[in-house]
């Protein structure tokens, strides 16, 4: 985003969206970031937003195939390269800490 690289418009034909948020500006306070992240986590806990899916898994020995698949640009979801060849890999979603900015002022 900061390097002003190009973004292919093809995914947007499938009703996809991309949102980049730069929260490094001086006008954005820690309390605003805390409020936005809390709202985002609330949306996640209610199921309104979800982790990327589907997940396509490639074993290490197929890493070249994984890069060919990824580079093709027609995939959706997450591409994982794993030491296991099973498709039952569980990818954890980390929860946020109880307090993002416990004692910092605006």
Q: Look at the chain and report how many structural domains it folds into.
A: 1
With a cut of 50, list the residues of the chain below it in pLDDT: 106
**Dihedral sign for Cα atoms in the order 52, 55, 60, 61:** negative
Q: Which domain holds residue 69?
A: 50-88
pLDDT recorded at residue 84: 64
Question: Is 75 within a domain?
Answer: yes
pLDDT recorded at residue 79: 81
Question: Is 96 within a domain?
Answer: no
**How many C-beta atoms surround the C-beta of residue 22 within 10 A?**
8
pLDDT recorded at residue 102: 55
The H-assigned helical ranges of the chain are 30-45, 63-71
The answer to whether the predicted template modeling score (pTM) of the entire model surpasses 0.75 is: no
Question: Is 27 within a domain?
Answer: no
């Amino acid at each position: 985003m900061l390097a002003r690289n190009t973004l292919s418009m093809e995914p947007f034909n499938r009703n996809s969206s991309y949102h980049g948020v730069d929260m490094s500006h001086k006008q954005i306070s820690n309390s605003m970031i805390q409020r936005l992240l809390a709202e985002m986590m609330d949306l996640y806990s209610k199921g309104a937003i979800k982790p990327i899916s589907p997940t396509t898994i490639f074993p290490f020995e197929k890493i070249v195939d994984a890069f060919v698949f990824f580079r093709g640009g027609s995939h959706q979801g997450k591409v994982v390269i794993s030491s296991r060849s099973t498709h039952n890999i569980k990818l954890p979603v980390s929860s946020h800490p109880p307090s993002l900015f416990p004692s910092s002022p605006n």
